[in-house]
Amino acid sequence: MSVWQNKVPGYLISAIILILVAEFFFPVPEVVQSINSELQTFTAICAAFAMLLGSANIMKVYGSRVIKRSSNWEYAVLLLTFLFTTIGFGLLEGTGGIYFKWLYNNVQVPAAATVYAIIGFYVVFAAYRAFRARTLEASILLVAGFLTLMWGSSIGHVIWPGIGQVVPWIVDVPNTAGFRGYKIAVAIATVAVGSALFLHKQALFQKAGSSGEGAA
Amino acid sequence: MDLAFTGQLVGAFLMICVFSLLYKENPLSRVAEHALIGVAAGYTFVTNFWFIINTGVNGVFNGNPQYIIALVLGALLFTNLSKRWSWLSRYGLALVTGTGVALAISRVVLTDIFNQMVVVAEPFLSLSSPVEIFNSVLMLAITVSVLSYFLFTTKARPKQMGPINKFGRYAMMVSFGVAYGTTSTYRINMAIGRLDALLNPSIRSYSYVMTAVVLAAVIYWDLRLRKK
Amino acid sequence: MTFDFQKIDRRRLLYVIQLIVMAVPLIYPIAIPLPIDKYSRGYHEAIEAVPDSTVVGYCNFISGGQWPLLESGAKRTAVRLWEKDCKIIFFAFADVGVPFIDLIIEDAIQIYEARNPGETIEYDVDYVRLGYIAGLETGFAEFLRDMKGLVPNDYFGTPTTSLNMLENVNTGNDIPFMVWAESGTPAPYGIRQYQETYGGTMVEIVVGMLLPTISVYFETGQVAGAILGSAGCAQYEYLAGMPGPALRLVNALSLTTLMVLIALIVGNIEYLYGVLKGGKE
């Protein structure tokens, strides 16, 4: 049974990686190209199922809170009410329905955006209380951040017109070079992890402590 | 009062409830958070459900019977919710993981490795002024040292790498500083965007009243909590 | 009765001051000079260089949080492309981006009709909507390989094979220009799957936070130009000759950023004073 549970999915990953990467680097027969096209469509559909799974998980977690009457279970009732109301309108009206879009535009959008937006207030307080030039590295970070903030606002150009020459140089040369090095390193790591998955050196599905090919 | 205007008021109320987090976490902010999560999860469910119906199910009935494989593999993902049968979800995961990894690694070699290295080396083919020479040499030095810092991270690295890695760290601090500046600007921008929505002339006076009421309620709740 | 400064909750005091600094320019607009950066200039030049009647892909990830920052640039891009008689294909790989395509199209049509009296924008002539497409990078790769196979119906349920505008549009080779409107999470797979694979021209509408990521691709020419946040939108409004709401937001941003700079200076002066006095922070 463990062959079907652990090894076969691993072989499946290797086979998929092999034919998709082969198509990119080598001329392949049309049948392989058709298979690749279908694989990509299958993945798009599976990805949609994965998003459904996320919602189902939320139903499970908050549903169990209501059933067990955990602390603050009343909020879970509220959440599930909004969840099922949204799903109800969405399934009845479709994604273009009036009430479905109303819920999205007037509940999710304002609340979600505001959750991100309150960080804008923490930024100012953090600048006052937390951002200290304690070491050389922190000082470099502070100076670069300070100049970038000045450059990003119109008033910075009024205070010091030269900021328009200094910060673009900082962004174009040291910043771009630094990010470039980071991007190349991440790309190499991506290829390495992909190769490890292909060669079964990186296990996605092993249980901790089990024997077999390289644990992650 | 029409639906659109009611929606603006509901949105404004929820925004003010979330902003009340700046004072302290309170029942009104929790109400807003749970409403948000409920609608967000429902929205995600609906949009992906209809995608599955339009592309997958309709595809099966319109000359693509092979889409049944995708529908079965996708449905198997739900076995993740059961401890006993969760191993079946690995097949759907294998498809998604394999395809995603393959597409990423095949293109990333060109986009993020080859093209980036060409751009670092190209300026050396046609240097004209001292400034260009300085910039090109500095970019090459920083790129190599940052790359070295990320790749040679174990204690087994040669001692000679030490100064190079240190230079790479300092160069990265410049990148992080720029990232800090731009991220701070972005977050402040978002806060301004929300304020702009609250101060929309059509609901401005309502916003003032709701802010006063919510703030009063939160402060009253906080004072009662402190007394207990 | 003496006033004890130390007892004031500095955190909440800062929040109140910040709230006032942000809100005042939104209610009473002020005039601050606006510099133009090379990313906005590149964006504008790339749009102007698009040949008339080109088919353009427009992928939207902008959702609620970024909408106030980027809406102006997103709408005016569509207006300018329609003025060049381009055919726009709207789609989204994030479900949250779909409703905002509604807003982009509605408001862009209003701006277009105000600028071009007597002319209208028609569905299946000037634009089509393909709605939400799952799968992120994989979905995008398949979309560019076989658009009508992955998306059999448009947003309104009409078969894509019956849309006149898409008659000769089947793969990424048939879309020479792509507008990529991102949210706060960088998605370089757009560059990987479209620009690198099909060689088209790509421009981005992104939040300012992605400047470090965009600068790398801008230097290599993989991204022809970018609108960066509300400042970028204000710059594009100026370059395209379409004044809009972004300038008001930029003025509020300027004053709030000044507040951050002052907070950084004051905080570090306090810290250095403590260090020089021989005490710990």
Tens-place pLDDT, residues A65-120 = 999 998 889 999 999 999 999 999 999 998 888 999 999 999 999 999 999 899 99
Calculate the alpha carbon distances from A96 to A104, A131, C237 in Å.
11, 46, 30
- Report C:91-120 residues touching A (Cβ under 8 A): 95, 98-99, 102
Q: How far apart are CA C74 and CA C12, in angstroms?
A: 35
Are C152 and B55 within 8 A, CB to CB? yes
Buried b (16+ CB within 10 A) or exposed e, C99-113: bbbebbbebbbebbe
Relative to beta strand C55-60, strand C177-181 is: parallel
Q: What is the mean pLDDT of chain C?
A: 88
Instruction: Tell me chain A's radius of gyration from C-alpha atoms.
Output: 26
Out of A128-132, A203-207, B140-144, C4-8, the most confident range is B140-144
Are A153 and C63 within 8 A, CB to CB? no
Per-residue pLDDT, averaged over B79-84, amounts to 87
A119 and chain C: CB distance < 8 Å anywhere?
no
Query: Which residue has 């399934």 as its token pair?
Result: A91
Q: Which of B48, B53, B152, B202 to mutate to test the interface with A (most CBs of A within 10 A)?
A: B48
Residue A214 has pLDDT above 70, yes or no: no
Residue B62 has pLDDT above 90, yes or no: no
Q: How far apart are CA C52 and CA C56, in angstroms?
A: 11
Residue C1 has pLDDT above 50, yes or no: no
The per-residue pLDDT for range A161-193, each reduced to its tens digit, is 888 889 989 988 999 899 889 889 989 988 998
Which of C138, C212, C260 lies at the smallest CB-CB distance from B184? Answer: C260
Q: For residue B122, count CB atoms less than 10 angstroms from its CB and return exposed for 0-12, middle for 13-18, buried for 19 or more.
A: exposed
Which of C18, C32, C141 lies at the smallest CB-CB distance from A124? Answer: C18
Residues of chain C in contact with residue A47, where contact means CB-CB under 8 angstroms, are 134-136, 138-139
Are C95 and B58 within 8 A, CB to CB? no
Residue A209 has pLDDT above 80, yes or no: no
Are A113 and B138 within 8 A, CB to CB? no
Residue C43 has pLDDT above 90, yes or no: yes
Query: Which pLDDT belongs to residue A208?
Result: 40
Residues of chain C in contact with residue A149, where contact means CB-CB under 8 angstroms, are 257, 260-261, 264
Which of A41, A127, A183 lies at the smallest CB-CB distance from C264? Answer: A127
Sorted by where each begins, the domain ranges of chain C are 5-29+254-276, 38-244
Residue B52 has pLDDT above 80, yes or no: yes
C260 and chain A: CB distance < 8 Å anywhere?
yes
Residues of chain A in contact with residue B90, where contact means CB-CB under 8 angstroms, are 5, 9, 204-205
C211 and chain B: CB distance < 8 Å anywhere?
yes
Query: Which pLDDT belongs to residue B157?
Result: 64
Are C188 and B179 within 8 A, CB to CB? no
Q: What is the CATH number of domain C38-244?
A: 3.40.50
Q: How far apart are CA A18 and CA A145, in angstroms?
A: 44
Are B138 and A174 within 8 A, CB to CB? yes
Are B10 and A24 within 8 A, CB to CB? no
Per-residue pLDDT, averaged over C112-117, amounts to 93
Residues of chain A in contact with residue C23, where contact means CB-CB under 8 angstroms, are none
Residue A56 has pLDDT above 50, yes or no: yes
Query: Which pLDDT belongs to residue C195?
Result: 87
Are A87 and B170 within 8 A, CB to CB? no
Q: How far is A186 from chain B (nearest CA, A)?
A: 9
| Nearest residue of chain B to residue C71 (CA atoms) | B193
Q: How far apart are CA C279 and CA B102, in angstroms?
A: 56
- Report C:134-163 residues touching A (Cβ under 8 A): 134-136, 138-139, 141-142, 145-146, 149-150, 155-156
Q: Which of C10, C17, C253, C258 to mutate to test the interface with B (most CBs of B within 10 A)?
A: C253
C9 and chain A: CB distance < 8 Å anywhere?
no
Q: How far apart are CA C246 and CA C244, in angstroms?
A: 6
ipTM of the complex: 0.83
A127 and chain C: CB distance < 8 Å anywhere?
yes
Which of B55, B58, B197 lies at the smallest CB-CB distance from C68? Answer: B197
The per-residue pLDDT for range C72-107, each reduced to its tens digit, is 999 999 999 999 999 999 999 888 888 899 899 999
Which of B33, B34, B74 lies at the smallest CB-CB distance from A49? Answer: B74
C48 and chain A: CB distance < 8 Å anywhere?
no
Q: How far is C6 from chain A (nearest CA, A)?
A: 15
The per-residue pLDDT for range B148-194, each reduced to its tens digit, is 888 877 665 677 677 888 888 899 999 999 999 988 998 998 899 99
Please state the pTM of the whole predicted model.
Answer: 0.83
Calculate the alpha carbon distances from B122 to B137, B139, B176, B181, C192 in Å.
12, 12, 26, 30, 21
Q: How far apart are CA C277 and CA C272, in angstroms?
A: 8
Q: How far apart are CA C160 and CA C171, in angstroms?
A: 13
